[in-house]
Amino acid sequence: MKKLLLIFALVFGIKLSAQDVIFSQNFLVPETLSSSFTGAIRSSKMGSLHKSQWRNTGFKTRTNYVYFDTWFEGYKTGLGVNFLNHTESASTYTFNQVNLNYAMAFQISNTWFFRPSISAGFGMKNYGFQNLLLEDQINANSPIINTTSIDPFLLREERKFFDFNASILFNNQDSWLGVTIKHLNKPNISLSENGNVPLDLFISAHSKYLIPIFDNYRNDFKGMSKLYFLANFMMQGKVNRLDLGTQYIIDDQFSLGILVSTIPLKNVEEASTISSISSFASVKWMGFRFGYSYDMNTTKLFNTGGIHEFSVAYDFNINIRELDRYKCIPFF
In a domain, 119, yes or no: yes
In a domain, 240, yes or no: yes
- Regarding pTM above 0.75, the answer is yes
For residue 272, the enclosing domain spans 2-327
Half-sphere exposure of 247 (CA within 13 A, CB side): 29
Q: Domains in the chain: how many in total?
A: 1
pLDDT confidence of residue 220: 56
In a domain, 316, yes or no: yes
The whole-number average pLDDT for the span 157-186 is: 93
In a domain, 233, yes or no: yes
The whole-number average pLDDT for the span 44-61 is: 83
Strand partners for 290: 283, 312
The whole-number average pLDDT for the span 14-41 is: 82
In a domain, 332, yes or no: no
pLDDT confidence of residue 14: 39
pLDDT by residue (tens digit) across 189-232?
887 767 788 999 999 999 999 998 876 665 555 567 889 999 99
Q: State the pLDDT confidence band at 254, using cuts at 50, 70 and 90.
A: very high
Cβ atoms < 10 Å from Cβ of 17: 20
Asked whether 257 and 242 are in contact (CB, 8 A), the reply is no
In a domain, 168, yes or no: yes
In a domain, 291, yes or no: yes
Side chain identity, residue 134: L
At 164, which CATH number?
2.40.160.40
pLDDT by residue (tens digit) across 111-134?
899 999 999 999 998 875 555 555
With a cut of 60, say whether residue 250 has pLDDT above it. Answer: yes
With a cut of 90, say whether residue 306 has pLDDT above it. Answer: no
Asked whether 267 and 37 are in contact (CB, 8 A), the reply is no
